[in-house]
Structure 1
Amino acid sequence: MATEILVPTLGESITEATLGEWLKQPGDRVEADEPVASLETDKVSVEVPAPAAGVMGAHGVNVGDTVNVGAVIGAIEAGDGAPAAKADAPAPQQAAPAPAPTPPEAGQQAPASPAGEPSSNVEAAALSPSVRRAILEHGVDPANIKGTGKDGRITKDDVVAAASNKASTPASPPAAPAPTAQAASAPTGNRGEERVRMTRLRQTIAKRLKEAQDTAALLTTFNDVDMTAVIEARTKYKDLFEKKHGVRLGFMGFFVKAACQALRDIPSVNAQIDGDEIVYHDYADISVAVSAPQGLVVPVIRNADAMSVAEVEKTIGDFGKRAKDGTLKMDEMKGGTFTISNGGVFGSLMSTPIINPPQSAVLGLHRIEDRPVVRDGQVVVRPMMYLALSYDHRLIDGREAVTFLVALKNAIEDPTRLLIDL
Structure 2
Amino acid sequence: MSIEIKAPTFPESVADGTVATWHKKPGEPVQRDELLVDIETDKVVLEVVAPADGTLKNVLKEEGDVVLSDEVLAVFEAGDVSAVAAPAAAEAPAASASDNADVIASPAAKKIADENGVDVSSVAATGKDGRVTKEDVVNHLKGGAKPAAAPAPAAAPAPAPAAAPVAAIPAGERIEKRVPMTRLRATIAKRLVEAQQNAAMLTTYNEVNMKPVMDLRKKYKDQFEKAHGVKMGFMSFFVKAATEALKRFPAVNASIDGNDMVYHGYQDVGVAVSTDRGLVVPILRDTDSMSLAEIESTIGDFAKRGREGKLGIEDMQGGTFTITNGGIFGSLMSTPILNPPQTAILGMHKIQERPMAVNGEVVILPMMYLAVSYDHRMIDGKEAVQFLVTIKELLEDPARLLLDI
Question: TM-score when scaled to structure 2?
Answer: 0.83
Q: Quick one: structure 1 residues 78 and 266, their matched pair in 2 at CA, closer, same or farther if it must change by over 3 Å? A: closer
Aligned counterpart in structure 2 of residue 275 of structure 1, from 253, 258, 261: 258
1:360-375 correspondence to structure 2 within 5 Å? 360-375=343-358
| Gaps in structure 1 of 5+ consecutive residues | 95-112, 140-171
Measured after TM superposition, the shift of residue 315 of structure 1 is 0.7
Partner of residue 380, structure 2: 397
By how many angstroms is 1:364 displaced? 0.2
1:322 aligns with 2:305: yes
Tell me which residue corresponds to 1:87: 89
Aligned partners of 1:375, 1:308: CA distance in 2, in Å?
32
Q: Find out whether 1:252 has 2:235 as its counterpart.
A: yes
Report 1:72-221 matches (<5 A): 72-79=72-79, 80=81, 81-90=83-92, 114-117=119-122, 127=129, 129=131, 132=133, 176=166, 179=168, 182=169, 189-221=172-204
8 Å contact kept, 1:3–1:52: no
Q: Distance in 2 between matches of 1:407 and 1:71?
A: 51
Q: Please give the secondary structure, in 1, of the residue aligned with 2:58.
A: coil
RMSD: 2.6
CA distance in 1, matches of 2:36, 2:42: 20
In the aligned structure 1, how far is the partner of 2:39 from the partner of 2:373? 33
Residue 243 (structure 1) aligned with residue 222 (structure 2)? no
Question: Hey, what's the Cα distance between the residues in 1 that align with 2:135 and 2:284?
Answer: 37
Alignment correspondent of 1:154? none
Shift of 1:87: 1.7
> Secondary structure at 1:58's aligned position in 2?
strand
- 1:283 to 1:220, Cα distance in 2 relative to 1, 3 A: same
Q: Which residue of 2 aligns with 1:7?
A: 7
Q: Hey, what's the Cα distance between the residues in 2 that align with 1:305 and 1:208?
A: 28
The Cα shift of 1:282 comes to: 1.7
Moved more, 53-62 or 258-267: 53-62
CA contact (8 A) 1:59 1:75 kept: yes
* Equivalent position to 1:287, from 264, 270, 274: 270
Distance 1:138 1:238 in 2: 51
Q: Partner amino acid for 1:83?
A: A
Select 1:407's aligned residue among 376, 383, 390: 390
Shift in alpha-carbon separation, 1:128–1:303, aligned structure 2, 3 A: farther
1:23–1:126 Cα contact (<8 Å) kept: no
The sequence identity of aligned pairs, in percent, is 52
| Partner-residue secondary structure (3-state), 1:9 | coil
More helix by share: 1
How far residue 128 of structure 1 moved from its aligned partner, in angstroms, is 6.2
Match of 2:28 in 1: 28
Task: Tell me which structure has the larger Cα radius of gyration.
Answer: 2
How high is the TM-score relative to the length of structure 1? 0.79
Contact 1:116 1:135 (8 Å CA) reproduced: no
- CA distance 1:126–1:33, shift in 2 (3 Å): farther
Partner amino acid, structure 1, of 2:16: E
Q: Which residue of the partner structure matches residue 64 of structure 1?
A: 64
Cα deviation 1:361-384 (Å, max 9, x = unaligned): 000000000111100000111000
Give CA-to-partner distance per residue, 1:144-198, whole Å, 9 cap, x none: xxxxxxxxxxxxxxxxxxxxxxxxxxxx99x94x62xx56xxxx74411111111
Deviation at 1:38, TM superposition (A): 0.5
Deviations 1:303-329 (A, max 9, x none): 011111111111111100000011111
List per-residue Cα deviations over 1:43-86 (Å, max 9, x = no partner): 11011112332222232222111111122222223554343211
Name the residue aligned to 2:281: 298
Query: What is the CA–CA distance in structure 2 between the aligned matches of 1:39 and 1:261, rounded to whole Å?
Result: 39
How many Å separate the matches in 2 of 1:125 and 1:227? 43
Q: Distance in 2 between matches of 1:255 and 1:68?
A: 40
- Give the residue type in structure 2 aligned to 1:254: F
- Amino acid of the structure 1 residue aligned with 2:285: R
Amino acid at match of 2:43: K
Give the equivalent residue in structure 2 for 1:157: none
Aligned length: 359
How far 1:135 moved relative to its partner? 6.3
> Which amino acid is the alignment partner of residue 191 of structure 1?
R
User: Comparing 24-33 with 295-304, which one deviates more in the overlay?
Assistant: 24-33
Find runs of 4+ consecutive structure 1 residues off by over 4 angstroms: 116-119, 131-139
Tell me, in whole angstroms, the C-alpha distance in 2 between the residues paired with 1:248 and 1:375.
31
**1 CA distance for matches of 2:238 and 2:173?**
45
Question: Which sits farther off after the overlay, 288-297 or 76-85?
Answer: 76-85
CA distance in structure 2 between the aligned counterparts of 1:138 and 1:334, rounded to whole angstroms = 44
- Inter-partner Cα distance in structure 2 for 1:408 and 1:33: 47
Secondary structure of 1:14 counterpart: coil
Matching residue of 2:115: none
